[in-house]
Structure 1
Amino acid sequence: MKIGILGSGDVAKALAGGFLKHGHEVTLGTRTPDKLAEWEAKNPKGRIASFADAAKYGELVVLAVKGTAAVAVLRLAGAANLAGKPVIDVTNPIADAPPVNGVLKYFTTLDDSQMERLQREFPDARFVKAFNSVGNAFMVDPQFKGGKPTMFICGNDEAAKKTVSGILDQFGWETADMGKVEAARAIEPL
């Protein structure tokens, strides 16, 4: 499958490596191609492009940026390039503020998740929340005592969730479908 990944940080690179390892074709979208020069040299089968080109390329799109940048990045990617495609939302709504007594601040409320906001702004994209509750070192082929770990997902589109469940299976995860987009309210703080 052709995968367009929006992001150039550790999470984006970890997932890109996983997709390549499992036989997918990958284009990483970024504003700063120089940031990915080392990754590109180590992964000659991967491509580097703009956000719009990566989103256009992907049959499936992965949003792997800081939560506060998600809307801006999706706008740069272009709503038309996301329309009708599964979009794995890896983001968390962590505010650009220091933790208070070790507790992170979020820019969403208990009644409105980041993914709900993204789904409203890009209604033709088929968002599925996944990978946001695990560190990037464990996203692909995790090895835990007791067998396969479970990844919580949610989203409004059943076919998109089935596609993402298949990817999770390839990556060594069991899937627990928590329901519609509103379930992201519980998944995002994990």
Structure 2
Amino acid sequence: MKIGILGSGVVAQTLAAGFLKHGHQVMLGTRTPAKLADWAAKNPAAKVGSFADAAAFAELAVLAAKGTAALSAVREAGAGRLAGKTVIDATNPIADAPPTHGVLQFFTGPNDSLLEQLQREFPAVNFVKAFNSVGSAFMVNPNFAGGAATMFICGNDDAARKVVRGIVEKFGWEAADMGQAEAARAIEPLCMLWCIPGLLRGEWSHAFKLVKPA
């Protein structure tokens, strides 16, 4: 499958490497190609282009830009180029402001989410929230002592969620489909767990493990 990734940071590079590992074709979209020079040299099978290039290339896209730049990244990519496609939304609505008493500030309210904002502005795009609630070091085939941990996903399109569920599971996670886009109001704040030192050390394999009845 052709994967177009909108973004050039650590998350974008990590997921791109993961898709390459699993045999997909990858293009990273960026405003600053020079930022990816070293990564591209280490991953010669990948392509680098603009946001619009990556969106046009993609059969499935990943939005891995900074949360405050997520809407503008999709606008620059061109909603028409992403219309009807599944787009994994790995962003979080973290504000460009320092934490308050150690708590990250969001630019969304309690009854909204960044995923919903994206879906409202670009209704023809099938956004699915995933990979936002885990640090980049654990995104691709992590090895947890307690077994596969749970990755929460949500989005309005049933078929798109099914596609993303398959990707999440190939990347070594147990997918938990939480349904429609409103569920992102609960999923996006999970990113704050990565501010807890023990979790940053990886001591969390059961924190996201759903307990199933016997």
Question: Structure 1 length normalisation: TM-score?
Answer: 0.99
> Where do 4+ consecutive residues of structure 1 move more than 6 Å?
none
Letter in 2 for 1:155: G
- 1:57-68 correspondence to structure 2 within 5 Å: 57-68=57-68
Which residue does 1:31 correspond to in 2? 31
Q: CA RMSD in A?
A: 0.5
The SS at the match of 1:26 is strand
- 1:102-121 correspondence to structure 2 within 5 Å: 102-121=102-121
Q: How far 1:132 moved relative to its partner?
A: 0.2
Q: 1:156 aligned to 2:141?
A: no
Which residue does 1:90 correspond to in 2? 90
Which residue does 2:206 correspond to in 1? none
Give, in whole Å, the separation in 1 of the partners of 2:150 and 2:184.
16
Give, in whole Å, the separation in 2 of the partners of 1:60 and 1:42.
23
Q: How far 1:36 moved relative to its partner?
A: 0.2
Q: How far 1:7 moved relative to its partner?
A: 0.3
Q: How far 1:146 moved relative to its partner?
A: 1.3
Identity fraction in percent = 70
Which residue does 1:133 correspond to in 2? 133
Which residue does 1:46 correspond to in 2? 46
Give, in whole Å, the separation in 1 of the partners of 2:80 and 2:109.
29
Which residue does 1:10 correspond to in 2? 10
Which residue does 1:172 correspond to in 2? 172
The SS at the match of 2:87 is strand
Letter in 1 for 2:149: P
- 1:175-186 correspondence to structure 2 within 5 Å: 175-186=175-186
Letter in 2 for 1:188: E
Give, in whole Å, the separation in 2 of the partners of 1:38 and 1:146.
35
Larger radius of gyration: 2
Question: Structure 2 length normalisation: TM-score?
Answer: 0.88
Letter in 1 for 2:97: A
The SS at the match of 2:189 is coil
Give, in whole Å, the separation in 2 of the partners of 1:52 and 1:185.
29
Q: How far 1:104 moved relative to its partner?
A: 0.6
Letter in 2 for 1:149: A
Letter in 2 for 1:147: G
Give, in whole Å, the separation in 1 of the partners of 2:170 and 2:153.
15
Give, in whole Å, the separation in 2 of the partners of 1:101 and 1:150.
29
